[in-house]
Structure 1
C-alpha cells in the first residue's frame, strides 16, 4: 500500500475522504466498499491515517489535502481455508477472491464459477487427510504382510533343514547297519567256506585233531566230521531204555553231513520212534550200521559207496541235543562201534 509523504502540521485543512476521493485504482489494487457498517478496509484506512499524521504530530483533517488511498485485493485467511463465515454482503464480495485463492491452492470450486471456497476447501482438506491415512494404513498392511511372508519362509526353511538332518541321520544309521550286516555275512561265509574245506579234506583223508578220521585203505570212512564223542558204548543211565548205551554218539551241528562207513545197501530209511529218523546200511559182509536221530535223509534205498553222504546230523527222537547215534550190529547183536571202526583202520 502506497502512503504519501506526510506534510508538516498545519499545512492542510481538515480532510474527509469521500466516495469520489477514495476511488478505485486500475491495476492490481482496488478500494473495497463498506459493507453494512465497518468493513475490513476501514482498518487499513485507519492505519493509513495514523501513519500519515504520525510524522507531524496530531493535525486536523482540515489542514490536509484530499489524498486517494487504495488497498490490495487480498482474501481473508479464514475464507481461504474454509474456517470463517462472513455475513451479508461481505461474504458475497469476498467469494471471488476466495475462489481464486482456492484454485491457486488446488482446491476444486463450484461449476458456476462463484467458488464456494469455505465448504469446498474443508471437504478437499478432509479428503486429502483421508487419502493420506488410507495410504499410510495400506503401507502398514503391506509391511505386515511382507513380515508374515518372511517369517513363514524362515519357518519353512528351518523345518526343511530339520527334516533333512533327521533323514541324513536315519540314512547314516541304516548304512552303518547294512555295513555291519554285510561284514557279519562275509564272516559267516568265510567260516562256512573254511568248514566246508575242512570237511572236504577229511573226506579225502586229510584228518583233523578234532577226531575227523580218514578214509582207510581198505575202503572205510568215518561216519561224520567236526564232531565230539559224548557217549560211548556201554555207558549206563536212565536215558536209555535198556539201561545202558548201545552205540557211539558223535555230537555235531545240525546239518553236518553223515556218510556211509563202507560200501553197502540201504535196507531201511524212515521214522523209528526213539531213534528218530534212521537209516540202516547193510555192508557187504552182512554187518548193519544204524544212523539215528537224523535231521534229513539223502538216500533211502539202493547201494552206496564208502564216504558217500546219506543224511544229515539232527536231533529227532529221544535226544538232548544234535548228534549222530551210530550202532553197529552183527548177527542181530550190538558191538562197540569205536572198537569196530578202529578195527577198520580208522582213527576216531
Structure 2
C-alpha cells in the first residue's frame, strides 16, 4: 500500500508554487486563476502587497523583513473575493471556486427539476393500508379522470367566456351569460324576498294586533251581555220574590184580619212613659168608640176570658203555632174559654176598663215562649195594613 504523500510546505510570500517570476508575469498570463484576476488585483500587483513587493523595485542588496500582517497593514476584503480556508497549504478564493462552477456547467449543463428522477416514498403497511382512495377524496377525484373526460373539461373551460364564472346551472339554462348581471339579479331577488318577508311580518303583526283588539272587544261585549243578563235575572228573581211574597201575604191576609174598625193608633209598642207600670208601652192601642166590635185576628182557641187588673176585661186567643194575642180594656166579652174561633169572628167590644184614659183596644202579641213583640210588625208581616 502506498503511503500518503507528505503535506507540502506552506508557500512563502513569493513561493515557488507560483514561480519566481510571479511578480513580473503579465496579467494575460494569469487567466488560469480566473479571468477577472488581473482586473481584481491590477497589473500593479505590488500595491496590494506593499510597495516593496515589485521585483523591479528590489535591489540586490535589499534586506527583507518578516511580514506580520496587522489590521492597519491589511486592506479590507473587497466584494465576495476573500480567502475562505487553507487546504493542503493552498489558499483558494471564491474566484477559483466560481471558475470551477462555470467549468462544471459548461461540461455537464445545468440540472433542472424536470430531469431529476422522482423520489420514492415508502410508508409502513399499517398506514398505507388505511389510506383512502385518492379518487374518493372531494376535489381530488377529478384529477384522476380519464384522458377524454379531462380533455372535455379543459375544452369546456377554455370555451366558456370569462364573464360566465359564478353562473349557476339554472341561470345558464335560462340563457344568462353575464355573471355580473346574474349577481345583480340574485341580489335583487334576495332583496325582494327580504322585503316580502318584512311585509309578511308587518302584516302578521297587524293581524295579531287586530285579532287581539277584536278579541278584547268581543270579551267586553260578552261581559256586558253577561252582566245585563245577570242583572235581568236578578231583577226577575226579585220581582218573582216580591210576587211570591205578595201572594203569600194575600193568602195570609185572607186568613188574618185587623182586630177592629174605625180606629186611630194612639200608642205604639215600646214607647216610654210613667203611665205604664213597666216603664214603656207593651202593645198597640187602637182608639175607637165604646162598643165597636173586636174581631179575632186569626183562627185559634180562647185560652182565657175575664177581668185582669190594669188590662180590664181581657181575652187571650191562642193560635195554632202557640202565639198568644191579647185583647184588653173591653167593655164586654162575647166568647168563653176553650171556644174555637176563626178569622173575623167577634170576640168582644171596645171599652175603657182597667188603667185607661179613654176607650180603646190595647192589643199585645206574645210568642210561644212568652216574649212580647211589636203587634204592628206582626200584623204587617201577615199582609195586613195597619
Length-normalised TM-score, structure 2: 0.34
Structure of larger gyration radius: 2
